């Protein structure tokens, strides 16, 4: 896995779910499953292991947004508790599903860009 300095930006290609090397092929096969290799340039994507990274960022972003909006709505409008439950549960699910794929794509692209590997003892 050799890094190519002419490779596209890892952030933009990651957000679009594109290959970190060529920026044309797709990283995902399905919603979150990473392809074995890029269909355009043949990059082996076996290195791509984001672990819990995307989940952490999704939980952090969604948590901050939902709590802030819930507090604002409570103090501004004092809606009934059932309305809080419906609104914030729906928003949490929608935001989580919308953010997890782009964030996983960014982390895969950043792994390639920075040549990140699993730590090993010598």
Supply angle C-alpha 45, 49, 53, rounded to 5.
Answer: 135
Q: What is the structure's pLDDT at 2?
A: 57
CA atoms within 13 A on the CB side of 66: 19
**Percentage above 70 pLDDT, the chain:** 96
Q: What is the structure's pLDDT at 96?
A: 98
Beta-bridged to residue 34, according to DSSP, are 28
Residue range 20-39: average pLDDT?
96
Average pLDDT for the chain: 93
Q: What is the structure's pLDDT at 3?
A: 55
Indicate the SS3 state at residue 85. helix
Q: Which of 57, 53, 63 is nearest to 111 (CA)?
A: 53
Supply angle C-alpha 12, 24, 35, rounded to 5.
Answer: 95
Q: What is the pLDDT of residues 53-104, one digit of tens each?
A: 999 999 999 999 999 999 999 999 999 999 999 999 999 999 999 999 999 9
Q: What is the structure's pLDDT at 121?
A: 85
Residue 6 has pLDDT above 80, yes or no: no
Phi and psi for 34 in degrees, rounded to 5?
-80, 135
């Amino acid at each position: 896995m050799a890094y190519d300095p002419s490779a596209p930006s890892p952030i933009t290609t990651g957000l679009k779910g594109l290959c970190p090397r060529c920026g044309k092929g797709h990283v995902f096969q399905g919603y979150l499953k990473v392809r074995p290799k890029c269909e355009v340039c043949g990059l082996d994507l076996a290195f791509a292991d984001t672990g819990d990274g995307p989940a952490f960022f999704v939980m952090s972003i969604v948590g901050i947004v939902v709590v802030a909006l819930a507090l604002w709505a409570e103090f501004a409008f004092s809606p009934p508790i059932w309305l809080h439950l419906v609104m914030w549960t729906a928003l949490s699910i929608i935001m989580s599903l919308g953010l997890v794929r782009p964030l996983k794509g960014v982390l895969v692209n950043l792994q390639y860009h920075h040549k990140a590997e699993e730590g090993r003892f010598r």
